[in-house]
Amino acid sequence: MKILTVNFLTCAVKACKTSPLSFPLHFRDAELEQSDIGYNPSFLRNILPRVDWEALKVTATELGFTTVPSEKPNLDPAPSNTDLPAPETAMETSEPDVADEKVMRDLHTLLLETEVREGKMVCGNCGHEYKIKEGIANFLLPSHLGR
Protein backbone atom coordinates (compact mmCIF):
# COMPACT_ATOMS: atom_id res chain seq x y z
CA MET A 1 0.00 0.00 0.00
CA LYS A 2 1.36 3.37 -1.00
CA ILE A 3 1.70 6.31 1.38
CA LEU A 4 -0.65 8.57 -0.59
CA THR A 5 -3.43 6.10 0.25
CA VAL A 6 -3.09 6.70 3.99
CA ASN A 7 -4.17 10.30 3.49
CA PHE A 8 -7.58 9.02 2.38
CA LEU A 9 -8.13 6.36 5.04
CA THR A 10 -9.62 6.42 8.50
CA CYS A 11 -11.08 3.90 10.95
CA ALA A 12 -13.83 1.70 9.49
CA VAL A 13 -15.79 1.93 12.77
CA LYS A 14 -18.61 4.41 12.07
CA ALA A 15 -18.47 6.08 15.48
CA CYS A 16 -14.76 6.86 15.04
CA LYS A 17 -15.14 8.83 11.83
CA THR A 18 -16.39 11.94 13.60
CA SER A 19 -13.46 11.91 16.03
CA PRO A 20 -10.37 13.88 14.96
CA LEU A 21 -8.30 11.18 16.69
CA SER A 22 -9.19 8.67 13.95
CA PHE A 23 -7.26 10.54 11.23
CA PRO A 24 -4.67 9.75 10.17
CA LEU A 25 -4.32 6.13 11.24
CA HIS A 26 -1.01 5.44 13.00
CA PHE A 27 1.59 3.00 11.78
CA ARG A 28 3.09 0.25 13.89
CA ASP A 29 5.85 -2.17 12.92
CA ALA A 30 5.80 -0.96 9.33
CA GLU A 31 8.14 -2.61 6.82
CA LEU A 32 8.71 -0.44 3.79
CA GLU A 33 9.72 -1.21 0.26
CA GLN A 34 10.60 1.14 -2.58
CA SER A 35 8.89 0.42 -5.86
CA ASP A 36 9.56 2.08 -9.18
CA ILE A 37 6.68 4.07 -10.58
CA GLY A 38 6.98 6.41 -13.56
CA TYR A 39 7.46 10.03 -12.48
CA ASN A 40 4.39 12.03 -13.43
CA PRO A 41 4.71 15.67 -12.31
CA SER A 42 1.27 16.73 -13.56
CA PHE A 43 -0.41 13.93 -11.58
CA LEU A 44 1.42 15.10 -8.46
CA ARG A 45 0.61 18.76 -8.99
CA ASN A 46 -3.05 17.95 -9.48
CA ILE A 47 -3.31 15.63 -6.50
CA LEU A 48 -1.38 17.83 -4.07
CA PRO A 49 -4.25 20.25 -3.37
CA ARG A 50 -6.21 17.22 -2.07
CA VAL A 51 -3.51 16.07 0.35
CA ASP A 52 -4.06 16.85 4.03
CA TRP A 53 -0.57 18.12 4.80
CA GLU A 54 -0.71 17.86 8.59
CA ALA A 55 -1.81 14.22 8.31
CA LEU A 56 0.92 13.49 5.77
CA LYS A 57 3.55 14.93 8.13
CA VAL A 58 2.34 12.65 10.94
CA THR A 59 2.50 9.63 8.63
CA ALA A 60 5.92 10.54 7.23
CA THR A 61 7.40 11.06 10.71
CA GLU A 62 6.04 7.70 11.90
CA LEU A 63 7.69 6.00 8.94
CA GLY A 64 11.00 7.79 9.44
CA PHE A 65 10.85 10.26 6.54
CA THR A 66 12.38 13.60 7.42
CA THR A 67 12.27 15.36 4.06
CA VAL A 68 8.62 16.51 4.08
CA PRO A 69 8.45 20.34 4.02
CA SER A 70 6.68 21.85 7.04
CA GLU A 71 4.29 23.70 4.73
CA LYS A 72 2.56 22.28 1.67
CA PRO A 73 4.61 23.41 -1.35
CA ASN A 74 2.75 26.02 -3.33
CA LEU A 75 3.01 24.48 -6.77
CA ASP A 76 1.08 25.58 -9.78
CA PRO A 77 -1.51 23.07 -10.88
CA ALA A 78 -0.76 21.27 -14.10
CA PRO A 79 -2.66 22.36 -17.21
CA SER A 80 -6.07 20.90 -16.80
CA ASN A 81 -8.59 19.20 -19.04
CA THR A 82 -11.41 21.11 -17.38
CA ASP A 83 -12.96 24.48 -18.02
CA LEU A 84 -11.77 25.85 -14.69
CA PRO A 85 -9.78 29.03 -15.28
CA ALA A 86 -6.08 28.46 -14.62
CA PRO A 87 -4.37 30.83 -12.19
CA GLU A 88 -2.50 33.56 -14.04
CA THR A 89 0.84 32.47 -12.64
CA ALA A 90 0.50 29.17 -14.46
CA MET A 91 0.67 31.04 -17.73
CA GLU A 92 3.85 32.88 -16.79
CA THR A 93 5.99 30.04 -15.50
CA SER A 94 6.89 27.87 -18.42
CA GLU A 95 10.20 26.59 -17.00
CA PRO A 96 9.88 24.37 -13.94
CA ASP A 97 11.74 25.69 -10.94
CA VAL A 98 14.77 23.59 -9.93
CA ALA A 99 13.84 23.72 -6.24
CA ASP A 100 10.27 22.73 -7.12
CA GLU A 101 11.61 19.83 -9.11
CA LYS A 102 13.52 18.50 -6.09
CA VAL A 103 10.44 18.82 -3.87
CA MET A 104 8.34 17.05 -6.48
CA ARG A 105 10.81 14.18 -6.88
CA ASP A 106 10.91 13.69 -3.11
CA LEU A 107 7.12 13.73 -2.92
CA HIS A 108 6.87 11.24 -5.77
CA THR A 109 9.19 8.89 -3.89
CA LEU A 110 7.32 9.27 -0.61
CA LEU A 111 3.71 9.33 -1.80
CA LEU A 112 3.75 6.92 -4.72
CA GLU A 113 6.89 4.80 -4.65
CA THR A 114 7.06 3.96 -0.96
CA GLU A 115 5.04 0.83 -0.18
CA VAL A 116 4.14 -0.47 3.25
CA ARG A 117 4.55 -4.22 2.79
CA GLU A 118 3.86 -5.44 6.33
CA GLY A 119 2.66 -3.82 9.53
CA LYS A 120 -0.38 -2.38 11.24
CA MET A 121 -2.42 0.78 11.18
CA VAL A 122 -4.01 1.78 14.45
CA CYS A 123 -7.01 4.03 15.11
CA GLY A 124 -6.13 6.79 17.58
CA ASN A 125 -9.73 6.82 18.82
CA CYS A 126 -10.72 3.19 19.44
CA GLY A 127 -7.32 1.51 19.20
CA HIS A 128 -8.43 -1.04 16.60
CA GLU A 129 -5.53 -2.42 14.55
CA TYR A 130 -5.71 -3.00 10.80
CA LYS A 131 -3.14 -5.37 9.41
CA ILE A 132 -1.12 -4.92 6.24
CA LYS A 133 0.11 -8.16 4.69
CA GLU A 134 2.04 -8.50 1.46
CA GLY A 135 1.28 -4.87 0.72
CA ILE A 136 -2.49 -5.19 1.17
CA ALA A 137 -4.28 -3.43 4.03
CA ASN A 138 -7.32 -5.21 5.43
CA PHE A 139 -10.16 -3.12 6.89
CA LEU A 140 -12.71 -5.87 7.50
CA LEU A 141 -14.08 -5.49 11.02
CA PRO A 142 -14.98 -8.26 13.43
CA SER A 143 -18.80 -8.40 13.35
CA HIS A 144 -19.27 -6.79 16.79
CA LEU A 145 -17.57 -3.60 15.53
CA GLY A 146 -19.27 -3.52 12.17
CA ARG A 147 -22.57 -2.00 13.25
Partner 1 sequence: MYSSEAQSDSELYEEAHVHKVYEQIASHFSSTRYKPWPIVERFLKDLPDGSVGLDVGCGNGKYLAVNPNVFIIASDRSNNLVKIATKHQPHTAIVADNLTLPHPNASFDFAVSIAVIHHLSTPDRRIQAVAAILSILRPSIKGQGGGSQNNGGKTLIYVWALEQEHSRRGWKEGDEQDVMVPWVMKQKPTAESSEESKTFNRYYHLYRQGELEHDIAEAGGLVLESGYEKDNWWAIAIRKPG
Q: Which stretch binds partner 1 (CB under 8 A): 59-67, 68-76, 92-100, 131-139?
A: 131-139
How many CB atoms lie under 10 A from the CB of residue 121?
Answer: 26
Q: How far is the CB of 97 from partner 1 (least distance, A)?
A: 20
Taking the mean position of all CA atoms in its chain, how far away is CA 52? 8
> Could you say which DSSP state residue 109 is in?
I
77 forms part of the interface with partner 1 (CB under 8 A)? yes
∠ CA 128-52-136, nearest 5°, is: 45
Q: Which residues contact 57 (CB under 8 A, 6 or more apart)?
A: 68, 70
Residue 140 is a binding residue for partner 1 (CB under 8 A): yes
What is the contact surface with partner 1 in residues (CB under 8 A)?
Answer: 1-2, 4-5, 8-14, 17-18, 23, 37-38, 40, 42-43, 45-47, 49-50, 77-78, 80-84, 112, 130, 134-141, 143, 146-147
